[in-house]
Amino acid sequence: MGGALQTLFPAMGTVNSILIYDPARKNAAEEIRFFVRSLDRKLSVFRPDSEISRFNALDGGEWMTVGEDSFAIFRESIRCSRLTGGAFDVTAGPLSALWREAIRSRRLPEETAVRKAGQLVNYRDLGLKEEQRQVCLQKKEQSVDFGGIAKGYAADRAVRILREAGVKNALINFGGTVGVLGEPKMVGIQDPFRPTGEPFGVLTLQDSFAVTSGSYERGFARGGVRWHHIIDPRTGMPSDSGLRSVTLVGTRAAELDALSTAVFILGAEAALPLLQSRALEAVFITETGQVLVTPGLQSDFRLICQKGRSAL
């Protein structure tokens, strides 16, 4: 890592890291920081004045013109919602807001509230007008949530900025969305059963991304159940597919981000046809600690042996 320059900055609810190995090109990191922070300001549902919050507050059937990045994310989100049959559903806003509050207060939501929110979730109600860059939801109470795709979109753009700046070698990490530019680099995958920062395995990546979704990041345990932030739109409840985390590897981070959320919800077996159709590789970790690696990734993945972890 000699000579590499690291830039750290908070945005999108996480700490983001950019590591540039050609230090002469360090201005690219500043450009990325500026881009990601302004994207975060536009997309955050936590800022009442953000473009997305204003969109979510509109009446049903009201169209709004949005900026180019927002529109690109809308478009990609709808595509991924279709691709996953609504496992990733960009209109999951009412459900994710309900469960965000439940996780914050550690109080489970009422069944009727879950049912009501669930009935509002339907990506088919999201309209797009390409020429005008306009978007619209059918019902007032509906809302979009880009929490499952924004980091991926930001990572795609960051790598593009690096390339355009002439950077040959870099590593970015936007809260579990990791991108490698140039020579092969090893990246750790968080062990979902251990404290943050402890990897259970190492992936070698080259000009690609690895994106992880897991139930361990946010949530709480009660009654032997983990209540977490990845919601199955079919039930309105935190997904319960037997996975603890999934890491997808591919070349387009926005799609990987949305699909990692969807694959986590669908479960390993049900997700395999989807992964094959998109030529994506995956590492699954089940609730019982079993590790499953797709064939195309086996030579690039190494399990870290740890005390207390059985051989797999």
What pairing do the DSSP bridges indicate for beta strands 243-250 and 281-286? antiparallel
Q: Say if residues 69 and 39 touch (Cβ distance below 8 Å).
A: yes
d(CA 277, CA 282): 13
d(CA 143, CA 121): 8
Q: Say if residues 293 and 301 touch (Cβ distance below 8 Å).
A: yes
Tell me which amino acid residue 37 is: R
Tell how far CA 128 is from the center of its chain. Answer: 22
Binding mask 238-277 for ligand ADP (x = CB under 6 A): -------------------x--xx---x------------
The least distance separating ligand ADP from the CB of residue 245, rounded to whole angstroms, comes to 10
Q: What is the three-class DSSP state of 202?
A: strand
Name which of 152 and 201 has its Cβ closer to ligand ADP: 152
What pairing do the DSSP bridges indicate for beta strands 199-205 and 177-181? unpaired
User: In the window 166-195, what residues touch ligand ADP (CB under 6 A)?
Assistant: 175-176
Name which of 22 and 89 has its Cβ closer to ligand ADP: 89
Name which of 191 and 257 has its Cβ closer to Mg ion: 257
**Residue 285 in contact with ligand ADP, rule: CB under 6 A:** no
Tell me the site size for ligand ADP, rule CB under 6 A.
20
Tell how far CA 267 is from the center of its chain. Answer: 16
Closest to 146 in 3D by CA, of 211, 76, 62: 76
* First vs last C-alpha separation in the chain: 31
d(CA 132, CA 46): 27
**Residue 40 in contact with ligand ADP, rule: CB under 6 A:** no
Name which of 208 and 260 has its Cβ closer to ligand ADP: 260
Q: Which of 11, 205, 231, 248 is in the footprint of ligand ADP by CB under 6 A?
A: 231
**Residue 89 in contact with ligand ADP, rule: CB under 6 A:** yes
Name which of 28 and 229 has its Cβ closer to ligand ADP: 229
**Residue 125 in contact with ligand ADP, rule: CB under 6 A:** no
Q: Which of 21, 88, 153, 301 is in the footprint of ligand ADP by CB under 6 A?
A: 88
**Residue 287 in contact with ligand ADP, rule: CB under 6 A:** no
Residue 80 structure tokens? 């991924």
The least distance separating Mg ion from the CB of residue 179, rounded to whole angstroms, comes to 14
Q: Say if residues 157 and 35 touch (Cβ distance below 8 Å).
A: yes
Q: Cα-flanking dihedrals φ and ψ of residue 226, to 5°? A: -95, 120
Name which of 40 and 257 has its Cβ closer to ligand ADP: 257
| Angular region, 236: left φ>0, alpha ψ -120 to 50, beta rest | left
Query: Given the rule CB under 6 A, which of 126-134, 141-149, 282-290, 302-310 is the region that contacts ligand ADP?
Result: 141-149
Q: Which of 42, 229, 244, 252 is in the footprint of ligand ADP by CB under 6 A?
A: 229
Residue 58 structure tokens? 């509109």
Query: Given the rule CB under 6 A, which of 15-23, 88-96, 189-197, 268-276 is the region that contacts ligand ADP?
Result: 88-96
Residues near ligand ADP (CB under 6 A) are 88-90, 92, 96, 145, 147-148, 175-176, 213, 217, 229-231, 233, 257, 260-261, 265
